[in-house]
Amino acid sequence: MGSFIQSITSFFEIPGFNWKLLILGFTAANFVFDSYLSLRQIKHLKATHDKVPVELQEKIDAKTALKSQDYSLSKLKFSMFSGIYSLIQDVLVMKYDILPIVWSKSFEIMIKFNEKLPLFNFMSGSITQSLIFFGQFGLLRLLLSLPISYYQNFVLEEKFGFNKLTFKLWITDMLKEIAVSVILGFPFLAIFLKIIDYFGDNFMFYASSFLFIFQIFIVIVYPKFIQPLFNKLTPLENGDLKSSIEKLAADNKFPLDKLYVIDGSKRSSHSNAYFLGLPWGPKQIVIYDTLIEHSSVPETTAVLGHEIGHWALSHTTKMLLISQVHTFAILTLFAGFVKNNSLYQSFGFYKDQPILIGFILFGDILSPLDAFITFLMNLLSRKYEYQADEYSVNLGYAKELSNALIILHKENLSSMSVDWLYSAYQYNHPHLTERLRAINKLVANEKKQE
């Protein structure tokens, strides 16, 4: 493996090569492509602005359809603006060598901290400096994102009746997110960097194993300690819905442990449902209070039949395994850049070669490949969604699932129609009309076989 890594390193080690210009080109190209897709969708929405798809004409009135199109247009225009805002930030960071400036400042902070607290002199070295850099750069990014976040919640979402956040809750959530990032992110980053530094050319085996273990850790910790910081989970009360879901779980041998209702309406009026738990262990089903409010018992049960379909067809396990292969491949490629002198020098790092900086820059270099992989993963995800729908239909919930999907679409003001290319690249779920056609086709095939 060592010789393989060395060959990758020597292949990409091009003395004097302007990596900064390459990354700027990739960044601009990604922005142009994303903008092109958004413009296609905007054009499509304007062309179908006052039209309701045939599949939805009896279920969604023209007024709601028009509001849905307006909401979709507003989100697209806002995403294009936020894309420009993000592009300007990235260009300025590269043009004015912000990365080496923040890295140098991190070293100064580390030295001053050790001078004032000599008992903590062991907290020195590149990993400690990397953690300080991570904190500083993360805080800078957060401050720059505040105007975008504020507008999205208190202007855009507010305009269409979705925002339930108060300014106080918005700030509180932000502080909680920072605390979680520090408590979990700092130890995670320190261990990750130490593994790369300690194991040399073979780090990808150990780093990918660590990332897998960390994923499992988050799955266990999230529902018990993290989610309660933001939302209140209450056991689903005894009644028809609970009985219906428990019967569904028992009939399909789904390892249901607990049933919860989440107060999603505290922050937004969007609806959803999902399950938590390890692929091989007990599961917790979480239902948004907004879903229960707008859907009947059979419709909510049909949605959960879809979710159980994901479990029964091992979609979660398959996606987890694919994710691990992807992670290992990415780390193997990164091994060819972690000691790339020309890469670091292009960004003003002439003495130090911080692993964290190398990983950040590597991510920018990898962006075109990541875009392609995202497209493939979306295709796979869409396939899994069709299969989960089919599973729910086979349970006898064809009509209820269709109605539930329409209600979710209506209540979330999702777009009435989408441009095919925009949908293929941006959506990891098929559009509602596509799902309804597939469900109707399944029902028609069943009738033919009878």
Residue 429: DSSP 8-state: S
Pairing label, strands 283-288, 256-262 = parallel
The mean pLDDT of 5-16, rounded to a whole number, is 61
The answer to whether 385 is a known ligand-binding residue is: yes
If you ran DSSP here, which 8-state letter would residue 295 be given?
A: S
17 or 121, greater pLDDT? 17
Decide if pLDDT at 173 tops 70: yes
Among this protein's residues, is 173 annotated catalytic?
no
Give the model confidence (pLDDT) of 296-306 as tens digits: 899 989 988 99
251 catalytic, yes or no? Answer: no
User: Which domains does the chain show, CATH number per domain?
Assistant: 2-233+311-449 (no CATH), 234-310 (3.30.2010.10)
| Segment 155-170, tens digit of pLDDT | 999 998 888 888 999 9
Residue 181, pLDDT score:
92
Averaged pLDDT, 233-244:
89
Q: In this predicted model, what pLDDT tens digit does every residue of 344-397 receive, in sequence order?
A: 999 999 888 899 999 999 999 988 888 888 889 999 999 999 999 999 999 999
In the predicted model, is pLDDT for residue 429 greater than 80?
Answer: yes
Please return the burial class of 400, using the count of CB atoms within 10 Å of its CB with bins 0-12, 13-18 and 19+: buried
Residue-level pLDDT at 122:
47
More confident site: 289 or 301: 301
For residue 269, is pLDDT > 70?
no
pLDDT tens for 209-230 read 999 999 888 888 887 888 888 8
Of 79, 75, 85, 81, nearest to 145 (Cα)? 85
Please give the pLDDT value at position 409. Answer: 85
User: Which one-letter DSSP state was computed for residue 256?
Assistant: E
Write the DSSP assignment of 2-47 as a string of letters: HHHHHHHHHHH--TT--HHHHHHHHHHHHHHHHHHHHHHHHHHHHH
The predicted model gives 391-420 an average pLDDT of 88
Provide the token pair at 77.
């225009």
Residue 298 tokens read as 């059979």
Is 306 annotated in some ligand binding site? Answer: yes
> Which of the pair, 62 or 332, is modelled with greater confidence?
332
Is 73:42 a contact under the CB 8 Å cutoff? yes
pLDDT confidence tier of residue 85, bands split at 50, 70 and 90: very high
Q: What is the dihedral of CA 362, 364, 365, 371, to 10 degrees?
A: 120
Catalytic residue (one of 55, 157, 389, 400) = 389
Given the residues 307, 364, 411, 419, select the one marked as catalytic. 307
Judged by average pLDDT, the poorest of 206-210, 271-275, 404-408, 440-444 is 271-275
What's the pLDDT score for residue 90? Answer: 93
Q: Is 310 annotated as a binding residue?
A: yes
Percentage of the chain modeled with pLDDT above 70: 92
What pLDDT, on the 0 to 100 scale, is given for residue 291?
81
